[in-house]
Structure formats: C-alpha cells, structure tokens
Structure 1
C-alpha cells in the first residue's frame, strides 16, 4: 500500500512516546477551559495577559468586521492593504520604539519572510542553538552559511563574527526562548553587532506585552541594527505578527520578501482588534504585576524549575514517558499542562505557562499537586 511507510513511522512514534494528537477546546481561551468535554485549569496557553477573550478586543473585532467585512480580498501589494493595517503598523512601530513596521499573518511567516529576504548565498547567519524551529527553517532556506553557537554563549558568537568573511552578517536569536523561558542578552548581542558590522534579528514572540513594561525585550535598545519581530497571538491575545525596523528594511521586505508578497493580507478586523489590545497592554499595568506575582509564587512553592523569570516555567523530567505520565496525572486532577518532547526540545519536560488570568489559588494548587506527584516517582 502507498501509505504503509507513513503508518510505520507513526507506529514508531507511538512506541517512543513521541506521538501527538490534538485536544479539542470547547470554550474561549482563558484560565479555565473546556477540553475534550472536561473543565480544566489551563497552564498551556501563551495568553500571558489574559487578553484573548477580553470584551474590548472582541468589540473591536466585531466593529472591524462591520466596517471592513471579513476577508481582505488580496495580498497587501494588490488591493488588500487597508487603512486598518496601516494604522496598526504605525501603532506597533511606535509602541516598540522603531520607525516602521510590517504586519504578517503568523510569526512563522514573519521569520521566513525576513530572514530569507535579508540574507542569501555569500552571507552568514549566526544563530543560538535553542532558537525556535521557525527561525531554524528560515535560516536553512535562506541559503546563507548557517552557523550555530551554544545557548547564550557570547564568547563563541564573537569568535564566529571575528572570523567571518561574509558579505552580510545576521545574528538570529529568540529574545525569550519558548521552551526554557530564559532571555537572550540582547543589549550585549547588539553591541557585538555594532562592533562586527552585523544585523540582529530578534524574535520576541514571548516577550512582547510582558517584558519592558509591555514594550518587549528590546525596550531601551535604540540601535538601528536591531530588527525586531513579535507575534500578536500570545500576550496580545489576537493573531498575526509584525516586524519593526528602519524604514529601509521595511521597504526592502515589502519589495523582496516572498512570504509577504505572495500571501493574502490578514482580515482587517484583526488589525482593529490589535489596536484595542495595544491600548490595554499600555494601560493595564496590573496584568503584568499579577503575572509577576504568579511567577514568583510558583517558583517559591516548587523546586526543580529551570531559572526562568518569564511566564514560561519548564520542569525537566527523565524521559518522554515520564513527561506524558505527569501531564496525564495532572489532567486527571483538573490541571492542563503540556508535555513537550523531542524534537521540539532536546530534553523532555512539562512546559508550565502562567497567565494574569490565573488566580493565586490556581498556582498553589498546581504546585501542591505537582510536588505530590513528583514525590511519588
């Protein structure tokens, strides 16, 4: 049969505890959700500020649909770029302290668009080994020389920069690493870029809205060499992504980046929703304060976590089976925590995600339950 090899591969994944399946969400995103017919406390979501179901954002999306319709009708360069898109890009650029911005439908697409447009054969990319898969894919597809340095190892990065003869040099990092929750030393990396005539591309999917008083991991870094990307489906609670940089960079991407040029623009109603979200991020400081308190509480109650000061709190376990078993036992107790396994991460773990929407009691319950389960292992 033509599909025997596929079935054999899936069976091998099952045997290695690497098989994945989708859980069905039967409720809006939030701290408490219905999953496969069960009510669970949600510690899986990247909705860090609890904005995904905020009534102001819902109202902005509804008003946007009433004004603009649903579909955008075409790519941005044909007839799909609305005044809503334009206003959103200007607002996002100003919010992160950059002169210009470009919106795209997903973070994966943004990374692919920017990196493959900016560098190619004859150029070099220097990337952290723990970067997100979308960054790695974009680096490989760019056809530039792709060199990886150990996680946050600036000495190794500097040696690579000092010895390259590449025409263009691009340093690529996650600003917040999605599976470990730690941060890249962006200010130091930018200083290296200035010393060795390089650009820095920072993916701040998990820092935007949370760090830098909401302005992101690059807040206070004014270098034009920094090209900043953030997603809008995590802390912002909507969808899409944007790249913020010097006007010449944005203009270049508009003209050269194939994933941008050849994609239908996102619905304008989402741009209206993002504008409402940014207002909330800027105004409601209490959300970040609540989130910080939850992070501190969990870390105080539970030992064994990796050193993360962000909403992503990883608990590394022995193997894939242990990760799945712990996740299932937590789910049996009404707590939803994802088991993350290779190839997503080199070491299996539970990835605990905290939100401003959680209550203090949710954090205590999770820590107490986890500690009891770990004691029984």
Structure 2
C-alpha cells in the first residue's frame, strides 16, 4: 500500500444526520492531507465483500503505517461478532495490525449506550463488537466527546495518553449557495422561529417538543430524516415539518431562524456523554440555541454564552419571554466563535504522529 497514512472510511454521498456529517468531514480533511483513502462501504454487498476481503489481506502485511479506521468500517470488515471464535480472530488480527503500525480507531458514538437512550432493540452483535474494539492493546482512539472518552477509558482500562478528543463541528455557512426561496421554504420573520434540525425518530423527545409548542406563539420548524409521522401527529399551525434536506440546504434554512433547539432528556445517560452535532451545526449557521443541561454540552459551551441551558420544565417560560432583541445579543456571541466550531478548525487539532 502506497503512502504512510491510510484512512479506512464508511463514506456515503449524502448527509442526513450528525454521524454521517462527521464521517464526511473526516473523509474530506484526510483526503486533503494526502491520506490513502479506502472506503469500506459499497451499496452492492458482493462488491463490498470482495473489496474488503482483499483489503484485509493487504493490511495484514503492511508495516510502519499510520492507520485511521472509522469504527463503523470495522463492522463492515468484520460483520459477525456473536461467535466467540470470530471475536477472537478479529481481536488477534486488529492487535497484529496495531503492533506493526500505529492504529487509530475513530469513535463517533457508543452504539449500545445510544440504543438504550433511544429505546431501540439492543443488538448483541454490537455488545460484543464494543467489547472487542475498545479493549485492543496498543491502539489509539479518537473520541467525539470528552465524557465519552472518560467513560470508555475507565470501563475498558484504556491508556489516556493513547486517546484524543475531536468534537463534532459544523460546515462553514455558504451564504451565496442557494436562497431559502429556491428551497420553497417560507419563514415568518415577524415571529420567533425555532428550528430543530436532525433525526426525528423516537427517543429524541420530538413528541414532547410538539406538545409544548401547541400552546406557544413562536414557530417550531422541524427538519430532518424519519419525520413523516409528524404530518399525522396532533399539532397546531405554528408547528411545521419541512422534510429532509442536504446539510448545506438545512444550514441555509437554519440561518434564517432565530434559535435552534436541543430537547434531549438530560436524565438519560448517553445524552450526557455525547456532544450533539447539532450544537456546532446551529453555531455555524449563525444562531444560538436552547438546550437541556446535557453535561458535555454544558461544560463546553455554557461559558461562551451562545446557548440557553435550562431544565425541560423551564423551556416554556423561556420561549415565552424571548424577544428578537434578546436573541440578537446571543447571536453576536455566536458570530464571534463561529469559525472555532467549523470542521476545518476542529480537525486541524487532530494529531496523527
């Protein structure tokens, strides 16, 4: 394999949620840094299987390389973790690669902990998957939040000096790309417009959010995948589901709103570990946001005065008391720090040595 630096990605052409946004950002950044990029994903299963089998054979013989592998790529390379003999083989293989090279695993989320908070069925394959990949000897990890790094380091006895944190960023706002009119979106600028941009599936407190806005004057705009159910959900005229958009289009829409919102339940474990991509998405769209007191988000952003961090039962009073003038004061703070939370700035902190 040519070159000293290799990145094994799980790259898709479209971005519909935060995890994929991170994948694309790493892909583009490392491509600019002249990494050899190998995509473990292909939509045709047979081609994916053949390509990944050849990749595994080649990797076994490489030496003195710097290899970054996205954790979701590992599940594509090694699909079966429920069989003990396969787990042992996978672990031996990855530790062999790590012993001859410098192996970095990019950890964007913790699948089991996340599934519990989203009330999803726990996949046993992922239980074993996490036990294997987070306990590899002489392996380095790149985490998406500080609380996630701390949790995994203590649980799997990882070496702190082998870990680093690269939080989720946002794209720089492309003001001249497309107008909101071209997207067929109408926003009533005479009212306060609050946007939720992200996945709209169960477990993200979207139903609760709609319910409280049924009794508010401000507009709630919902944007993202898995939201068709909203059209048949009981809601007032100030609540709108806009549909799915590309990340750049979603950012243009958000930039015309007054405030973002993160309604996640701060009593749930995983939400306090992660740093939601939408935090940086809102900031890079030029708007402040209202959030529950999620531990990682609060620790990183509260002192910057770009967000309202409140208990859920305080949301209604806060929204009722909002004015365009009050929000504008926060927007001035957002404008000052926007570049810091761009993917370009954040990924320049990545250390591969």
Q: Normalising by the residue count of structure 1, what TM-score does the alignment of the two structures yield?
A: 0.30
Q: Which has the higher contact order (CA 8 A, sep 6+)?
A: 1
